[in-house]
Amino acid sequence: MSIPAAIQQHIQQLRELINQHNYLYYVLDAPTIPDSEYDRLLRELETLEVQYPQ
């Protein structure tokens, strides 16, 4: 199944955003979003990865 370009782009953006927040939280000890927002982003990415496996 071919993944639409817009979905691929959104998945990539979510991965980059989550990685950025991981760095801020774990390396710099300076989170910029609440845990609940991080959890929401992660759930969205997980849902998309299940719907559109690569």
Read off the pLDDT of residues 41-50 as tens digits, 9 standing for 90 and up: 999 999 999 9
- What local confidence, expressed as pLDDT, does residue 54 receive? 85
b/e code 1-37 from CB counts within 10 Å (16+ = b): eeeeeeeeeebeebeeeeeebeeeeeeeeeeeeeeee
Domains of the chain, start order: 5-51 (1.10.287.610)
| Residue 1 pLDDT > 80 | no
For 6-37, the pLDDT digits (tens) are 999 999 999 999 999 999 999 999 999 999 99
- What local confidence, expressed as pLDDT, does residue 14 receive? 99
